[in-house]
Structure 1
Amino acid sequence: MNFVPLQESPVVLPEQIARALFGNNPAAWQEMLSALIGAALIGTIMMTMTAFAGPWAKRKITAAFTDRIAVNRVGPFGLFIIVADAVRLLGKELIIPDGADRPAFDLAPIVVASSALLGFAVIPMGSLFGINLHLADPETGLAYVFAVASIATLGLTMGGYASNNKYSLLGALRAVAQNIAYEIPLIVTAASVVIFAGSLQMSTIVAQQQETLFTIGGFAIPAWYAFVNPFAFVLFMVANLAEVGRNPFDIPEAPTEIIAGYQTEYSSVYFVLFYLGEFLHIFLGGAIVATVFLGGADGPASGSIGFIWFTVKIWAVFLFTQWARSAIPRVRIDQLIEIGWKGMLVLSFANLVLTAVIVGVML
C-alpha cells in the first residue's frame, strides 16, 4: 500500500454557498449566513433519513428478519406511518413527573439529539452534482466528532437523574458504565487508522484510501482501511454497537428489565427528541465507519454522485445494527462490562501496537 501525498482540502459547503450568493469576496456576516444555510441543509438531510429510519425502516427491517408483516396500511408501503407517528407523538400530553429536576429534565433530550447533529459538521459526505456536502474540515476532525458524540452520555445521565424514577436512574448509570467501557476501545481502534493515515483530518483519512490495495482477476480492491486492517474494522463495529445502544448492548434501555431506563418518564415532544437522538447517533456511527474504514464517498463515478455511495454505506451500517437488534440476545450488565474492559480494551490496544509496528516497518 502506497501513501497518497497530502492534498489541499476541498472547498467546503459554506464556501461554495458564499461564492454562489455573494461572489468571491464575501463579508464576515455573509460567510456566517452561508455557514448557517449549509448547516441547515446537512441537518435537514440527516433528519430526513432519521424520519424514514425510525418509524418506518426499523419496523420493516425487523419484520423481515423475524418473518412478520410490518406497517403496510397507512399509505403506499406504509410510508405515511412517518406522518401518523409524528402527529400521534407530538399530540400527546407532555407529562412532567413529580419531583423532576428541571431544567435538567427539559435539557436532556435536546443534548442527546444536538450532540449527534454537531458530529455531522466534519463528516465529508461527498459531492452531489458538483455540491461538496462537507461543512468543515479541521485538522482535528476525528477527535472533534468523538468529542461531541460523547456529549450524549451527559444527556442520558441528566434524563435518568432528573426523572425522579429509580428505573430511570439505573438506566443512566448503565449508560455511563457502558459508554466509558466501550468508548475507549472505539477511540483506540480509530487511532490505529490515524497511524495509517498520518492525520486526524477527515478529508485526509478519506484521501489515503483512494489507491488500489491489490488486484484480483482484473478487479481492483480499494485500499479502504476495512480491507487494510479488517481486525480493527470488526472491533470498531462491535464497539459502535455499544455506543449506539443496539443489541447485545441495549442495557441502558432494557425494556424487560428497567422499562426503557433513562427515558421511562419522557413523553410527547421530549420522547420524540430522545428517539430522534438515538437514530441520529446510529447514522453518525455509520458515517464515521464509512469515512474511517470504507473510503468515505468513494465508489464508481463518485466524483459526481459520491454522496449516493456515502448514503449507501451508512444505511448498510444501519442495516447491520438492526440485524443485531433482531438476532442477538441482550447480555447481562456484568457480562457487558467484562466484555468491554477485559476483551475489547485489550484487543484494541493490541491492534494499536501491532499497527504501529507494521507502519514503522513500512516506513
Structure 2
Amino acid sequence: MTPLQVQTFPEAIAAMLPWSGLWVDVLSALVGTFLVANFLLLNTAVAGPWAKRKITAAFTDRISVNRMGPAGILTIPADAVRLLSKEQIIPEGVDRPAWDMGPILIPFSALLGFAVIPMGSGIQVADPEVGIAFAFAASSIASLGLIMMGYASNNKYSLMGGLRAVASNIAYEIPLVVTGVSVILFTGSLRTSTIVAEQAQPLVTLWGVSIPQWFAFVNPFAFALFTVANLAEVGRNPFDIPEAPTELVAGYQTEYSSAYFVLIYLGEFIHIFLGGAIAATLFLGGPAGPGPAALGIVWFTAKIWAFYLFTQWARSAIPRLRVDQFIEIGWKGMLVLSFANLVLTAVIVGVLA
C-alpha cells in the first residue's frame, strides 16, 4: 500500500479471510459492494417515502404521514408494496429497449459514483487515481437515462422533459466540474482519499481549538457555487425544470409506473445523496469529524443527510425558475463565476507555492 493509497473495503474484507487468490479478491469485492449498496439503499428508503414527507410537512406547517406505525415509519414498506404491486403499463409506440433501460441507468449511475467515495471507518470500495473524475463521470450517466426515457416514451411532455434534462446537465455540470477542479489545484491529486487527507490538516488554531483545513473554509465562494450547481444537478428547486409538474405533467417520467417508477424515484434520491457525498469529499473533509476515526461513517452519513435536508428546504421554500431564466443563470452566471473562481484559485495557489 503506497502512502497515497488507503486500504479499500474489499481489501480489508480479503485480509480477514484465511484464503488468498483471485476468487477471494472477487468475492471480497462483491461482498464490499453489496454492503455499501445496501447501506445507501437503506438511507434512500428512509429518505424517499418517509423523511421527504415529514420534512416538507414541517417546512409548510402541515401534518404528514402518521397512521402506519410509530410516526408513520411503516409507510416505507407500505409504499414499496403499493408501488411494486401496481400494473406495469407500457404505452403504445414506445421505443424499447430504450424505454426499459432508462429507469435502470439512473440508480445504477448514482450507485456507481459511490464506489470511489471514502465513507469513513475504512469503507471505500475503490480508490483509483482518477477518483473524483470517476464520480463526476458516473453521475453523468443519468443524463443518458433521462434523454432515453424522454425520447422513447412517445409523449411530447416526456420528450420536453428529456430535452430540458440535457440542457440542465450541460448548463450546470460544467460549472460543477470546474468548481471541483479548483479544489484539485489545492491537493494536486484526483484521488478522493488524498483530497480528504489534505483537509485533515489544521487551518488555524484559536484558544487551543484547531479548525480543520476544509476547503469550504479555505474557499467558501467555491463551496457556494458548487452547492448551487449541485442543486441543479440533482433537480431540486429552483432547478426542477426537467419534471416541472405544472408544465410537463411529470416530464421524462410521465409514462412510467410500478417498478420502473420505483427505480426512477430511487435513483433520484440516491443522486441527492451522491451530490452530498461529493460535496462532503471536496469541501467538508469527507468523513472527518470530532471523536475517534471509527465515527467516520457516522459523520459522513450526517453530512449527506444535511445536504438532503438542504435540498428539501429548497424544494419547499424556493419557487421554480422559468426555463429561460434557468438556462441564462447557468450559462451567463454560474459558468462565468466558476471559471473566475478557477483562475483566482490558480493565482492564489501559484503565489502560495
TM over 0.5: same fold? yes
In structure 2, what is the equivalent of residue 251 of structure 1? 241
In structure 2, what is the equivalent of residue 38 of structure 1? 32
Report the Cα offset of residue 60 of structure 1: 0.5
Contact 1:302 1:309 in 2 (8 A): no
Tell me the alpha carbon deviations over residues 227-270 of structure 1, each in whole angstroms, 9 at most, x when there is no partner.
00000000000000000000000000000110110000000000
1:91 aligns with 2:85: yes
In structure 1, what is the equivalent of residue 309 of structure 2? 319
Give secondary structure in 1 for the equivalent of 2:290. Answer: coil
Give secondary structure in 2 for the equivalent of 1:295. Answer: coil
Tell me the alpha carbon deviations over residues 78-114 of structure 1, each in whole angstroms, 9 at most, x when there is no partner.
1000001000000000000000001111110001110
1:101 to 71, 95, 101: 95
Report the Cα offset of residue 169 of structure 1: 0.2
Report the Cα offset of residue 197 of structure 1: 0.8
In structure 2, what is the equivalent of residue 239 of structure 1? 229
Paired amino acid for 2:34: A
Give secondary structure in 1 for the equivalent of 2:338. Answer: helix
Q: Which runs of 5+ in 2 are unaligned?
A: none
Quote the sequence identity (%): 69
Contact 2:4 2:194 in 1 (8 A): no
Distance in 2 separating the partners of 1:250 and 1:218: 45
Give secondary structure in 2 for the equivalent of 1:18. Answer: helix
Alignment: residue pair count: 352
1:21 to 5, 17, 24: 17
In structure 2, what is the equivalent of residue 3 of structure 1? none
Paired amino acid for 1:55: P
2:257 to 225, 242, 267: 267
1:115 aligns with 2:109: yes
In structure 2, what is the equivalent of residue 345 of structure 1? 335
Report the Cα offset of residue 19 of structure 1: 1.5
1:48 to 39, 42, 49: 42
2:166 to 169, 172, 176: 176
Paired amino acid for 2:54: K
Tell me the alpha carbon deviations over residues 313-334 of structure 1, each in whole angstroms, 9 at most, x when there is no partner.
1100000000000000000000
Report the Cα offset of residue 223 of structure 1: 0.5
Counterparts of residues 128-147 of structure 1 (less than 5 Å): 132-147=122-137
Paired amino acid for 2:141: I
In structure 1, what is the equivalent of residue 143 of structure 2? 153
Moved over 2 A (4+): 215-220
Counterparts of residues 286-297 of structure 1 (less than 5 Å): 286-297=276-287
Distance in 1 separating the partners of 2:44 and 2:265: 9
Report the Cα offset of residue 302 of structure 1: 4.0
In structure 1, what is the equivalent of residue 350 of structure 2? 360
Distance in 1 separating the partners of 2:295 and 2:213: 20
Tell me the alpha carbon deviations over residues 258-305 of structure 1, each in whole angstroms, 9 at most, x when there is no partner.
011000000000000000000000000000011110001111124111
In structure 1, what is the equivalent of residue 181 of structure 2? 191
TM-score by length of 2: 0.98
Distance in 2 separating the partners of 1:152 and 1:170: 16
2:7 to 11, 14, 21: 11
Report the Cα offset of residue 222 of structure 1: 1.1
TM-score by length of 1: 0.96
Give secondary structure in 2 for the equivalent of 1:150. Answer: helix
1:303 to 275, 288, 293: 293
Distance in 1 separating the partners of 2:160 and 2:289: 44
Contact 1:178 1:337 in 2 (8 A): yes
Give secondary structure in 1 for the equivalent of 2:5. Answer: coil
Contact 1:22 1:30 in 2 (8 A): no
Report the Cα offset of residue 147 of structure 1: 0.5
Distance in 2 separating the partners of 1:107 and 1:230: 39
Distance in 2 separating the partners of 1:355 and 1:302: 32
1:71 aligns with 2:65: yes
Report the Cα offset of residue 8 of structure 1: 3.4
Paired amino acid for 1:18: A
Give secondary structure in 1 for the equivalent of 2:17. Answer: helix
- How well do the aligned residues superpose, as a CA RMSD in angstroms? 0.9
Contact 2:128 2:191 in 1 (8 A): yes
